[in-house]
Amino acid sequence: DVKVTQSSRYLVKRTGEKVFLECVQDMDHENMFWYRQDPGLGLRLIYFSYDVKMKEKGDIPEGYSVSREKKERFSLILESASTNQTSMYLCASSPGGFGIQYFGAGTRLSVL
Amino acid sequence: GESVGLHLPTLSVQEGDNSIINCAYSNSASDYFIWYKQESGKGPQFIIDIRSNMDKRQGQRVTVLLNKTVKHLSLQIAATQPGDSAVYFCAENIIGTASKLTFGTGTRLQVTL
């Protein structure tokens, strides 16, 4: 089975802090994605990556950056956390081309 | 931009009945569709997918129907069980966007005993 692991289930951070969300997949997938999920808004794509050291902006990249130094790991970085970044963050991976995205359990981030 | 939407935000069905969850999509260039299930506190879980060259696909207790003429997708769950209670999302892949998916906002399915 595909496994996508997010390092934290819950995080509480203060405004202005630098926040790292980590995601690891064990299926040698080329593609990895970061989404945020808010009530009534569904899943919105923040960033995605097709390959190591490659990244593409999604629909809402402002205030975020990403890093993919190894194929299995994709990190989301909040350079200076703000309260409007309080949300559920979901990581996903998929094989090359297009296809099923497999999701992690999510990280619920609260910025106070 | 174009997006995937759902007709009903909440659907309540009795245990044992069949459930039908609907999804309207607006992009005629979409060629691949996926249904996900998300239980409380968990990430979305793949249920079933369908390509645009098909109009029906069946899985275990689930069937997805695709009507490209009216840009409509539905998920049918047979003999709904309490464990089916969750939020269901449809997602579409638009030709030319590689592996990106566009998600609907979700429908909550509540199974009553």
> Residues B32-78: pLDDT tens digits?
999 999 998 899 999 999 999 999 999 999 999 999 999 999 999 99
CA–CA dist B87, B89 (Å, integer): 7
Q: Is B100 on the interface with A (CB under 8 A)?
A: yes
Residues in B closer than 8 angstroms to A105, CB to CB, are 41-43
Which chain B residue is nearest to residue A9, measuring alpha carbons? Answer: B41
pLDDT tens-digit map of A42-75: 899 999 999 998 999 999 999 999 999 999 999 9
Does A31 sit within 8 Å of B34, measured CB to CB? no
Instruction: Give CA–CA dist B75/B23, Å, rounded.
Output: 8
| B3 Cβ neighbours under 8 A, 6+ residues apart | B26, B102, B104
Amino acid at A13: K
B99/A100 touch (CB, cutoff 8 Å), yes or no: no
**A88, β-bridge pairs:** A37, A108
Reported as a pLDDT band with limits 50, 70 and 90, residue B6 is: very low
CB proximity list for A40: less than 8 A, separation 6 or greater: B105
What are the C-alpha distances in Å from A64 to residues A2, A21, A45, B56, B85? Answer: 26, 11, 11, 39, 33
